Structure 1
Amino acid sequence: MNAPARTASMSSGTSGIAPLAAPMSSAFAAICGGISASNRAASGPAAVFVSKPVMRSSGVAALVRRRSASPAFAASCIASPRSAPSPRNPDAPFFSPRHDRRGRRTLSIPAQPPRLIGDPLRSRPRPPRRTRPRGGVACFAGWEGMRHPHALPGRGPCHPRTSDPGRARRPYPLGVTMLVAPVLLGCCLAQAAWGQDPPGWEDRPLLIADGPALPPPPPEDAAWVVAFRDGREMHEFLERSVSYGFSGAVLALRGQDMLLRAGYGLRDRAGSEAMPTTARFDVGSIAKSFTAAAVLRLAEQGKLDLDAPVRRVLGYVPERYDGVTPRLLLRHTAGVSPAPDFSGLVDFVDAEPVVLAAMASVEPDAVGAAFAYANAGYGVLASMVERAAGKPFHEAMRELVIEPAGLPHTGLVGEGLDLGPLAIGYADRPRRRPSTEGIVADASPFEWGHRGATGVVTTVTDLYRWARALQSPAVLAPSSRDAMFQTGPGDYALGWFVRSRPAPDVERLVHEHEGTTVGFQSSLSVWPDEPAVLAILSNTSNGSGPLIRPRLEKIMWGGVARLPPKAADPPVTPARLSALEGRFGIGAGTIVVRHDDDLDRLTVHAEGQDAVDALVPLDPESRSRVDRWHAIALEVLTAFKDRDPIPALAHAHEQVPERAAENWIMRWATVEGGAQLDRVEVLGTAPGELGPLTFARLVYAEGRSPEVVRVLWADGLIAGMSRAPLHGPGALALVAESDEFLAGFEPRTWDTTRFFFPPNARSLTISGPAGEHRAERAP
């Protein structure tokens, strides 16, 4: 339906409620007039609300508020269209001004928000400048107004950024406000006649004791939202992160503004299907907040006691575990081991043997004493939910939590409900070629041992609905909500971590949880006092999601995060990339540029300490010890040829287990096929997350592929050994920014190193944290 037809149908739809319009219009005009009059002298960013619950009682589904310090903006929703996102107006929303054939400004809001909100002034010719730009009058009935706008000619802009910044602002006269108020009310009534909001918590009043209410999300879950400067910066950051392995959906809200809701990467790599915002993910341990809510609901109903022994509900639990209570299990302080012994179980179909195995791991002295994160404890709680509710766990969770919270696209693993497209998860390893074997989010076995701790399948918008539902009485009574966020040891409450951290430089209270399961990673952060929400769902377990979260938080709170390098578009040709491969000498070392088959892209690494120093500099103290560390590493690894553990034991840190040296020898003295270790080549030492790392190449006989190991140092002693994920120290995967420039991005430190190759590729210039260095191609 085109816009004129839609407007006509909405107008006709209001005929049945026309008798209500006159008296309500008068009252509403008086309100608007009073606000307008007060705004002639008012200034500052205070918001004026005609709240949705209040207006709903009169049949009006509208939300009116002032978003900025403009004196006239809060007078009503009489707003000339704010300009589209541009350098002059970085805070504009994602509806944009357009011009008709006569050059007049009109408000254009698409029926479906566009996939990407850009700057229309860059994509179409700018109209002739007018001395008096035309404005518009629009009513936004919540987010529904984005879909069903109504515009009337206006006298001028009511926001200083809608036209020439030098033009003086004029508040609307009281008469104009009263004239337009009935039209505003008619728009709201038309919205009410057009259709109701989506079912769920939107129809319930919000009772917020500690902070402002979260607004409802856009009703169309498939619509993308990229709004305001911060939202656009987050969007650009995530689009670039796709080149470094991120794939998923993200939602960000701050205050009353939805900044971002969009999908990135692929939902299904097999079909190259782009990620929609409606994709459903397994959210891993975020499911614990759902289980906690179910337990609290049952406590409200008197079906279990948070501080009574578990045995009161699960009668088969031995009496010696009477100190274990639901509250302690919810807080991970019940003494349940993080890794119970389930080896004696034939299967996980029945709850009782799994619960007994979990309870058998309880240390009596640890009950209530310390925090120990244990999935098995939430498995015990899931069994209690099923027993106390008197129905299967799936049904109990849907009745107690999912339906009251109004989550239309949320279910549990194994339900098989068609609630939206399922994301395909991929168990990628960091710095490895992306996996092609996917795991359907809803297809994993949901056995006892996982129930309660994981297994919720949902969308990024439903996660936001879940955060908002926990602020309302839809799911929990106020006393239960208070109990849910009361922390115990380890900053853990009931199903949530409750922390305070800078965002970016002001301490803010945050409720959060992360989740990791095979092929999926997730994060949900809620700032109750702002309010704000950040939800990240990823269908890869390569670690990119947790690394992205603090960067997105920084942007969301007004900070500046360094962007990953952007890949060339169109991409650099394979022939050009092949021409860049080779060895480049620098001092006594070598920079190696090669095609990595695991990553299917160019990588760079160093061989020799001079080359390492050009890529990743060490601190002065560590640099002074490099020669000694190299000598020890060469001695220890060479002894592996003779299966001699004595040098390793002599230089091992006290925290290294006694059998570690034997395990290292078994791992590296020979490789598959029986090929023996032939020689050791020390490549150099680079900084690491836990301490300095010395890299060495192990060369085997019979032409077997060499392996690169890294030795971790602590207090000048060997603290561990492991296989290196790439080919040497300072290793980076490269993204081609152009034919001449390649960039290596280290997501853990957020450092970027750029490599410049001239057209003949006979030299290499490195610019990064270690400064600028030049290397020449080796013959």
Structure 2
Amino acid sequence: MSDAMNVAMPAAATGWSGGRLAVVVAACLGAAACAGAPQRAAEQGADDAARAEQVDALLADYRGRVPGASVLVLRDGRPVLRRGYGMAVLEDGVAAAPRTNYRLASVSKQFTAAAVLLLAQDGALDLDDPIKRWLPSLPKACDAITIRQILSHQSGLIDYEDVMSARFDADARQMRDADVLATLEGQDRTYFAPGGGYRYSNSGYALLALTVQKASGRSFAAFLRERIFAPLDMRDTVAYERGVSQVAHRAYGYSFEDGRWRRTDQSPTSAVLGDGGIYSSIDDLAKWDAALYDGRLLSDASRRLAFAAHTPTDVAEVGYGYGWRITGETLWHSGETIGFRNVIVRWPQRRLTVAMLSNRNDPEPYRTALKIGALYLP
């Protein structure tokens, strides 16, 4: 007779009391579970090692003395892969690492949106406020534009990059958020009636940074540091201002031109903070990701707003929340600027996140991140 059959028999048939039998059964089951745990852990470790080799293969072009990448995979809040590939600084041979800080470009928008949501939680502003309540110098065409519409790219604002002055350059005089406002003051028109369509808008997020500044009485960079980065122990993440702040463990951006890698770290718009001026690492993004699962930073209501698809975009099956794109079960955002290509993809129901930051102009990493995620999905 098997053990399983013996356990299934009534206590009277064994001659044992029900209590004694329960203790013996519990002990046997506990011992079996304990004996199986190391085996399961070993199997999981072997599986993760095999997956890591597959990730290495996907990142083969980033290895060696070339502009590199840092890659993070979080499963159930634990980093199961955390690696750097290639170089953070080509000229000095500084290797990319998990603590390397890259300019996030438009991945920054989720932090700008979070700052606005924090102020809404504080009661310092309302998402339905007209943007001109905070930035009254905007022209009449902007009268009906609300903060809520800007967050989800439904404002119709003119793209500042298309109308900016030629006097801005990457070195002597970069454009800043205040310069975006000054530029838009001369554009008494919108692409469509506010709320009447979708058009991705860097202009809007620059205006949101200025709104955060007005509503909080703090600079945008200081507000991010005090209300988001410091509370989450994101020690090296910074909204970078040349001559004001520093970027620790900094990666510099590069572009492949005429058969070689050339440093292309800054553009005339690299100093605009609200739409893309934050530097961070995969180590700090792990802390950010953890905070998106609970109320330590944003309330449940604020997170629901951020992660809801408020509008379809110009890409089929992709909606836009507040600083996040929504595709099926994923929340994600990419970032592209001169010399940097980045992405973060979250599968929140499966407690899986992939972040890939790179200091090169090409290729875009979104598809690579999806391939990495597929390796770890159950």
Query: TM-score, length-normalised on structure 1?
Result: 0.41
Tell me how far apart the structure 2 counterparts of residues 291 and 556 of structure 1 sit (CA, whole Å): 30
Deviation at 1:517, TM superposition (A): 1.1
Tell me how far apart the structure 2 counterparts of residues 36 and 433 of structure 1 sit (CA, whole Å): 72
Partner in structure 2 of residue 358 of structure 1: 184
Deviation at 1:279, TM superposition (A): 0.8
Tell me how far apart the structure 2 counterparts of residues 439 and 348 of structure 1 sit (CA, whole Å): 13
Partner in structure 1 of residue 293 of structure 2: 471
Deviation at 1:82, TM superposition (A): 5.8
Tell me how far apart the structure 2 counterparts of residues 345 and 327 of structure 1 sit (CA, whole Å): 32
Q: Deviations over 1:547-590 (max 9, x none)?
A: 522332332336xxxxxxxxxxxxxxxxxxxxxxxxxxxxxxxx
Matched, 1:536 2:352: no
Q: Deviations over 1:712-743 (max 9, x none)?
A: xxxxxxxxxxxxxxxxxxxxxxxxxxxxxxxx
CA contact (8 A) 1:251 1:260 kept: yes
CA contact (8 A) 1:337 1:372 kept: no
Matched, 1:386 2:181: no
Q: Deviations over 1:46-74 (max 9, x none)?
A: xxxxxxxxxxxxxxxxxxxxxxxx95149
CA contact (8 A) 1:253 1:534 kept: yes
Deviation at 1:246, TM superposition (A): 6.6
SS in 2 for 1:72: helix
Partner in structure 1 of residue 346 of structure 2: 526
Describe the shift of the 1:451–1:273 C-alpha distance in structure 2 as closer, same or farther (beyond 3 A): closer
Higher helix share: 2
Q: Deviations over 1:411-456 (max 9, x none)?
A: 1222665663111211225xx523143638xx98754xx2200011
Q: Deviations over 1:198-244 (max 9, x none)?
A: xxxxxxxxxxxxxxxxxxxxxxxxxxxxx443233223432465379
Q: Which amino acid aligns with 2:320?
A: Y
Structure 2: unaligned runs, 5 residues or longer: 1-21, 314-318
Describe the shift of the 1:71–1:368 C-alpha distance in structure 2 as closer, same or farther (beyond 3 A): farther
SS in 2 for 1:293: helix
SS in 2 for 1:427: strand
CA contact (8 A) 1:306 1:325 kept: yes
Describe the shift of the 1:471–1:80 C-alpha distance in structure 2 as closer, same or farther (beyond 3 A): closer
Q: Deviations over 1:613-672 (max 9, x none)?
A: xxxxxxxxxxxxxxxxxxxxxxxxxxxxxxxxxxxxxxxxxxxxxxxxxxxxxxxxxxxx
| 1:285 equivalent among 106, 113, 127 | 106
Deviation at 1:543, TM superposition (A): 1.3
SS in 2 for 1:298: helix
Bigger relative contact order, structure 1 or 2 (CA pairs below 8 A, ≥6 apart): 2
Matched, 1:231 2:58: no
Q: Which amino acid aligns with 1:553?
A: G
| 2:79 equivalent among 246, 258, 277 | 258
Tell me how far apart the structure 2 counterparts of residues 41 and 377 of structure 1 sit (CA, whole Å): 60
CA contact (8 A) 1:410 1:462 kept: yes
SS in 2 for 1:366: coil
Moved more, 323-332 or 535-544: 535-544
| 1:72 equivalent among 16, 26, 33 | 33
Deviation at 1:291, TM superposition (A): 0.2
Q: Which amino acid aligns with 1:377?
A: G
Report matched runs for 1:39-438 at 5 Å: 40=28, 71-73=32-34, 79=38, 83=42, 89=43, 91-92=44-45, 227-239=48-60, 242=63, 247-255=68-76, 258-338=79-159, 339-343=161-165, 351=177, 354-358=180-184, 360=187, 362-363=189-190, 365-414=192-241, 417=245, 420-429=248-257, 433-437=259-263
Describe the shift of the 1:544–1:393 C-alpha distance in structure 2 as closer, same or farther (beyond 3 A): closer
Describe the shift of the 1:259–1:342 C-alpha distance in structure 2 as closer, same or farther (beyond 3 A): same
Describe the shift of the 1:256–1:407 C-alpha distance in structure 2 as closer, same or farther (beyond 3 A): closer
RMSD value, Cα? 3.3
Structure 1: unaligned runs, 5 residues or longer: 1-33, 43-69, 84-88, 95-226, 501-508, 559-779
Describe the shift of the 1:364–1:229 C-alpha distance in structure 2 as closer, same or farther (beyond 3 A): closer
SS in 1 for 2:195: coil
Describe the shift of the 1:295–1:270 C-alpha distance in structure 2 as closer, same or farther (beyond 3 A): same
SS in 2 for 1:92: helix
Tell me how far apart the structure 2 counterparts of residues 35 and 437 of structure 1 sit (CA, whole Å): 69
Q: Which amino acid aligns with 1:343?
A: S
Tell me how far apart the structure 2 counterparts of residues 455 and 388 of structure 1 sit (CA, whole Å): 20
Describe the shift of the 1:512–1:425 C-alpha distance in structure 2 as closer, same or farther (beyond 3 A): same
Deviation at 1:36, TM superposition (A): 10
Q: Which amino acid aligns with 1:515?
A: G
Partner in structure 2 of residue 145 of structure 1: none
CA contact (8 A) 2:149 2:195 kept: yes
Describe the shift of the 1:272–1:497 C-alpha distance in structure 2 as closer, same or farther (beyond 3 A): same
Q: Which amino acid aligns with 1:471?
A: Y
Query: TM-score, length-normalised on structure 2?
Result: 0.80
| 1:453 equivalent among 275, 297, 317 | 275
CA contact (8 A) 1:270 1:436 kept: no
CA contact (8 A) 1:340 1:376 kept: no
Deviation at 1:475, TM superposition (A): 1.6
CA contact (8 A) 2:157 2:203 kept: yes
Partner in structure 2 of residue 213 of structure 1: none
Tell me how far apart the structure 1 counterparts of residues 80 and 351 of structure 2 sit (CA, whole Å): 13
Deviation at 1:384, TM superposition (A): 0.5
Report matched runs for 1:494-509 at 5 Å: 494-500=322-328, 509=329
- Give the percent of matched residue pairs that are identical in Structure 1 and Structure 2: 25
Partner in structure 2 of residue 515 of structure 1: 335
Deviation at 1:38, TM superposition (A): 4.5
CA contact (8 A) 1:497 1:513 kept: yes
Deviation at 1:541, TM superposition (A): 0.9
Q: Which amino acid aligns with 2:180?
A: V
Describe the shift of the 1:318–1:531 C-alpha distance in structure 2 as closer, same or farther (beyond 3 A): same
Deviation at 1:370, TM superposition (A): 1.3
SS in 1 for 2:100: coil
Deviation at 1:80, TM superposition (A): 7.7
SS in 2 for 1:475: coil
Tell me how far apart the structure 2 counterparts of residues 36 and 425 of structure 1 sit (CA, whole Å): 64
CA contact (8 A) 1:228 1:259 kept: no
CA contact (8 A) 2:240 2:273 kept: no
CA contact (8 A) 1:249 1:275 kept: yes
Tell me how far apart the structure 2 counterparts of residues 326 and 279 of structure 1 sit (CA, whole Å): 33
SS in 2 for 1:395: helix
Higher strand share: 1
Q: Deviations over 1:49-105 (max 9, x none)?
A: xxxxxxxxxxxxxxxxxxxxx951499x8x48965xxxxx4x3269xxxxxxxxxxx
Report matched runs for 1:531-610 at 5 Å: 531-543=351-363, 545-557=365-377
Deviation at 1:496, TM superposition (A): 0.3
Moved more, 400-409 or 518-527: 400-409
- What is the number of equivalent residue pairs in this alignment? 344
Tell me how far apart the structure 2 counterparts of residues 398 and 469 of structure 1 sit (CA, whole Å): 15
Q: Deviations over 1:98-127 (max 9, x none)?
A: xxxxxxxxxxxxxxxxxxxxxxxxxxxxxx
Q: Which amino acid aligns with 1:341?
A: V
Q: Which amino acid aligns with 1:391?
A: R
Tell me how far apart the structure 2 counterparts of residues 243 and 528 of structure 1 sit (CA, whole Å): 33
Q: Deviations over 1:501-556 (max 9, x none)?
A: xxxxxxxx111000011111101001110010000011111215345223323323
Tell me how far apart the structure 1 counterparts of residues 35 and 195 of structure 2 sit (CA, whole Å): 53
Q: Deviations over 1:588-630 (max 9, x none)?
A: xxxxxxxxxxxxxxxxxxxxxxxxxxxxxxxxxxxxxxxxxxx
Tell me how far apart the structure 1 counterparts of residues 352 and 23 of structure 2 sit (CA, whole Å): 28
Mark the structure with the bigger radius of gyration: 1
